[in-house]
Amino acid sequence: MSNNFMVFSGTASRYLAEKICAELKCPLGNMVMTKFADGEFEVSYEESIRGRDLFLVQSTFPNSDNLMELLLMIDAAKRASARSICAVVPYFGWARQDRKSKPRVSIGAKLVADLLSVAGIDRLMTMDLHADQEQGFFNVPVDHLYASTVMLPYIQSLNLPNLCIATPDVGGSKRAASYAKYLGCPMVLCNKSRKKANEVDSMQIIGEVEGMDVILVDDIVDTAGTITKAADLIMAGGANSVRAIASHCIMSGPADQRVDDSALVEMVFTDSIPYHGNSKKVKQISVSGMLAETIRRVMDNESISSQYLI
């Protein structure tokens, strides 16, 4: 692998960048962020990056400082004559705003894609976008990775006797179907309706769960209202056990309490977002190895899709 690359990290994702660098056996680049009294900040690379291929690791979860910090990192790198800039964004924030769901609303995912492009990225590396078509919002190559690469081996390690995959809403049926097909097990759907954002009005199970060990599959868990309601409904339907896996651990507001009070045996996430809660049911699996291997393949001009399980 070429030694002409460097890895730098934003403040919010330093924990993950350090793991990635450990996998790549390279040092984490030295960068300083200076904050001013009014809340403004600036970033500064403390070593030469001229002619280097840069990988900037930063998830853009709330608050918006994380996105702004990434934009400043990209701008500073471009002005310091980096040869190429790849934004490594394990969790791409604002991805749920991928279309006009009603009149007179923004499409936040497209706006953020434009901001990153104008700032100067040459490539984006991300994981489990809320909608696959958001890759088309960018005019640069997008390496769209999947948490299934680490989640499927974990599911197999559980050795559940009557495995069944479920999705907490119809929108995730494609993802759940891929898991079920790979694992050779049945799948059920939970159909929900909402009166407003982050609040489930009603839910029904489509399929048979009696006597099954069910695993709910999702991409994002925010307030955990949907996934815990689905878990309780599945257990009420006669399931032996119910677990949940999701790519991105937002876990805001009452999420911890809802997970603890629910029928879930465990709630498993990747570490695309740091978890600062206190639920004993929450577990995180690192995607640092997958991201490091993707960086290596990009530098060596090798196939990235060949590392996907599904």
Q: Mind telling me the catalytic residues? A: 192
Residue found under tokens 């060949």: 306
Question: Would you mind telling me the total number of residues written for the chain in this entry?
Answer: 310
Token digits for 187? Answer: 């799948």
Separation of alpha carbons 228 and 125, rounded Å: 30
Residue found under tokens 């809660």: 277
